[in-house]
Amino acid sequence: MTKLVLVRHGQSQWNLENRFTGWVDVGLTPEGVKEAKKAGKLLSKEKIDFDIAFTSYQKRAIKTLWLTLEALDQMSIPVTKDWRLNERHYGGLTGLNKQETRDKHGDEQVHIWRRSFDVPPPQIDKDSEFHPIHDRKYIGIDPAELPIGESLKMTTERVLPYFDRQISPFIRGGSNLIISAHGNSLRALLKTLFKVSDKDIPGFEFPTGNPLLITLEPNSTNVVSAKYLDEDRAKDLPEIPSA
């Protein structure tokens, strides 16, 4: 059986401050560092030899991966970073406090922006310091490809083609993988692996720093079993689809 681990980065500074983060490259809090180290310790009990790792361009996910692999003593495995695994881009909401945004726009509107599948937030202004064209990490990428305000649907549309082209061939070849990414980019992977509907996928949450261990059929992306390793901080999972 092939093993695939999905881990959302540990708590970030803007998670702590209750701000819309998206593509802003904030770091981990001390608690987030602890969560990442614990993720590695939990995984060490599973005795998995990983063959390759994937992560985003964002340091909270990258550092979570480093700390996890360090705890596993597997820091030598190849690591591929790609912006397509970045968090959802929150557009004009980026940097705003979530409660203050509710106070300004109303709970219902903010809920739609956060939890609908296909309603994007307002687009970010080109002059905003948070626009991706002002971040040197994305200099080599066509600006037309860079998001400026994404719904979960739009995030899924950039994550899944990358997964199909670059990640699933390793899975089908029998490699054990770990992916360190973000709540919404991982939600996109959950959607395809568990065949979750557009309506239901916004309701599934990834706890920070809690590895989701998925066992797959040999040479396949068909899910056999799945569990969060920190049971005390586990979230609900979709039903495993029938073969």
> Which residue, among 181, 123, 177, has the nearest Cα to 150 in the 3D structure?
123
Using the structure block, give the residue that is written with the tokens 């602890």: 34
Catalytic residue among 9, 89, 131, 182: 9
Other Cβ atoms within 10 Å of 3 Cβ, number: 19
What backbone torsions phi and psi does residue 155 show, to the nearest 5 degrees? Answer: -60, -45
Per the DSSP assignment, residues forming a β-bridge with 178 are 5, 53
- Please say whether the beta carbons of 52 and 77 come within 8 A: yes
Catalytic-labelled residue, pool 17, 35, 87, 182: 87
The one-letter amino acid code at 3 reads: K
Is 87 an active-site residue?
Answer: yes
- Residues with Cβ within 8 Å of residue 229, at least 6 apart in sequence: 39, 42, 43, 45, 46, 210, 211, 212, 213
Angle between helices 107-115 and 98-105 (to 10 degrees): 120
Q: Which residues are annotated as catalytic?
A: 9, 87
